[in-house]
Amino acid sequence: MTNSKTTAGDDNFPKELDQKQTGIKLSVIIPTLNAGSALNQTIESLSSAKQRGVEIEIIVVDAGSTDDTKQLALEADAKFVTSDRGRGTQLNRGAELASGDWFLFLHADTVLTSGWDASFVVFTSHPSNAERGGVFTFALDTNDIKARLVEKAVRFRNNWLGLPYGDQGLIINKHFYNCLGGYKKWPIMEDVDLVRRIGMSRMVLFDVKASTSAKRYLEEGYISRIARNFICLSLYFLKIPPDKIYKIYEKPAP
């Protein structure tokens, strides 16, 4: 996996791109299920793209929320559509409706930090990246020192195994996404499956953080959550059906 530092003001940011861009349309696809507590902040973090001249559409694909997810999405001028439950199914539904030349698949509790839009502009400005995928650096939204250890472990997984997860976002060209066959309609591991089809040599890791909610780690305990994630990944490589893996992933903590 290639590392890329591409934020405005850095030496690696081309001077000719340090202005407003035109002609780039980005479709951000966000799967939701009772995501009202996090959705506002996630969508707000996307607003800087417009200042860089990127045309952006936000598509919220909901799987039956009973909270205020729909209201929040509409108030933020996002398109709100419904789908059968399952993250892979929801992501595919959003991609079918998206009109952008580039897609950004983003979890509802993941906030992109300053500079993400510059990374997007630089990445999409190079023709060779039309057949690559870009992901952000994983971070947890807590000051707990244990979170920093998790972040280091994820960095290792990214650099040496080439396996970023969906909570790092994914930027990909629409045509390339369609050529790959898109996400499989799985409730879990749909992200790992797609990045494996993209291939480690065609993945770029941006040096800009995607800050994800630490709620699951705090509620279950770090060791328990890490162990569960490891078990799910191991079962995936053992070719256990995703539906069965999902039951383990969503099983309430003891």
Taking the CB of residue 4, how many other CB atoms lie within 10 A of it?
Answer: 17
Q: Is 103 exposed, middle or buried (0-12, 13-18, 19+ CB in 10 A)?
A: buried
**Whole-prediction pTM value?**
0.92
Q: What is the DSSP letter of 159?
A: I
Q: How confident is the model at residue 211 (pLDDT cuts 50, 70, 90)?
A: very high
- Tallying the residues shown for the chain, one arrives at 254
Is the residue at 235 inside a domain? no
CB contact set of 234 (below 8 Å; sequence gap of 6+): none
> Whole-angstrom Cα distance, residue 42 to residue 60?
11
Is the residue at 186 inside a domain? yes
At 84-129, the pLDDT tens digits run: 999 999 999 999 999 999 999 999 999 999 999 999 999 999 999 9
Res. 154: pLDDT tops 50: yes
Is the residue at 124 inside a domain? yes
Q: How confident is the model at residue 254, as a pLDDT?
A: 61
Res. 60: pLDDT tops 60: yes
**Are the beta carbons of 54 and 24 closer than 8 angstroms?**
yes
Is the residue at 99 inside a domain? yes
> Whole-angstrom Cα distance, residue 254 to residue 249?
13
Share of residues in the chain with pLDDT > 70 (%): 92
3-class DSSP assignment, residue 43: helix
Res. 207: pLDDT tops 80: yes
> Whole-angstrom Cα distance, residue 34 to residue 64?
8
| Residue ranges making up the domain that contains 12 | 2-219
> Whole-angstrom Cα distance, residue 174 to residue 13?
24
Which spans in 83-221 are helix H? 87-97, 116-125, 145-156, 174-180, 190-198, 215-220
Side-chain half-sphere CA neighbours of 197 within 13 A: 15
Is the residue at 79 inside a domain? yes
Is the residue at 244 inside a domain? no
Is the residue at 224 inside a domain? no
Q: How confident is the model at residue 15, as a pLDDT?
A: 45
- Counted domains in the chain: 1
In CATH, what number is assigned to the domain containing residue 73?
Answer: 3.90.550.10
| List of E strands, the chain | 2-4, 25-32, 55-62, 79-82, 102-105, 110-112, 133-140, 170-173, 203-212
More confident residue, 80 or 53: 80
Tell me the β-bridge partners of 16.
Answer: none
Is the residue at 241 inside a domain? no
Tokens of 203: 């993945």
Taking the CB of residue 222, how many other CB atoms lie within 10 A of it?
Answer: 17
